[in-house]
Amino acid sequence: MANFITIDGVEGAGKSTQAARLADALRRDGHEVVLTREPGGTELGRALRRMLLDDDSPGPTAETELLLYLADRAEHVRRLIEPALARGAIVIADRFSDSTIAYQSYGRGLPLDTVRRLDAFARGRVSPDLSFFLDLPPDVGLERARAVGPADRLEREALDFHRKVRDGFLAIAAAEPDRVVLLDARLDIADLARELADHARARLAAAA
């Protein structure tokens, strides 16, 4: 079954909006859908999210940041994602492992093999069946994000950092075309939502 769907991308790409729209579309089709996010899908995750994104104090080191995100993932997978998948629900996650690869390895410069190995330990047997990457130029995404509200810690990073993150997402998409669907986040919100729903329905039908 293609029950675990992730939505990743650069800052300001509209991931949360599109995740919610996709969840609504699949619920209308009669599916049980669990909509969640990283970091912050559990009680512990919400505390880690505040620490990672909302705190105005100096940020953690790259190594510490990676381990905090992976602590969130380990808790998230075992407390929420695995139980939902086990009962046959569709899980839609706003960010998952691909964001860790893009941000912590390509963006922060941590060794890719190390990041992949630690991520595999954190998520265990859980892997996305279908992943969407919402892509747009980082400067456009940051402008969008900052128009919504005060910038969080990641949004305050230099533009070069966000360009490296985008390069990471594009590299993953090129390496895994069977799993990853790359979409232009500059599309109209409704048009983009239809594309996500069409791809998800097709994958679910093929897996049935």
Q: Tell me: the pLDDT tens digits for 80-103?
A: 999 999 999 999 999 999 999 999
Please state, in angstroms and as integers, the Cα–Cα distance from residue 48 to each residue in 54, 70, 74, 90, 155, following that order.
10, 10, 12, 25, 17
pLDDT higher for 59 or 206?
Answer: 206
pLDDT at position 56 is 66
Amino acid at 109: G
State the residue for tokens 């069977």: 178
Tokens 């360009």 correspond to: 163
Tally of structural domains, the chain: 1
Query: How far is 117 from 133, CA to CA, in rounded Å?
Result: 22
157 pLDDT band (50/70/90 cuts)? confident
Of 12, 16, 7, 23, the C-alpha closest to 96 is 7
Q: What's the pTM value of the predicted model, to 2 decimals?
A: 0.94
Taking the CB of residue 188, how many other CB atoms lie within 10 A of it?
A: 8
Burial 5-20 (b: 16+ CB within 10 A, else e): bbbbbbbbbbbeebbe
- Mean pLDDT value of segment 47-59: 79
Q: Which domain holds residue 23?
A: 4-207
Which secondary structure element, helix H or strand E, spans residue 182, and what is its range?
Answer: strand 180-184
Flag whether pLDDT at 106 surpasses 60.
yes
Confidence of residue 194 (pLDDT cuts 50, 70, 90): very high
- Cα separation of 84 and 102, whole Å? 26
Q: Output the domain CATH number for residue 63.
A: 3.40.50.300
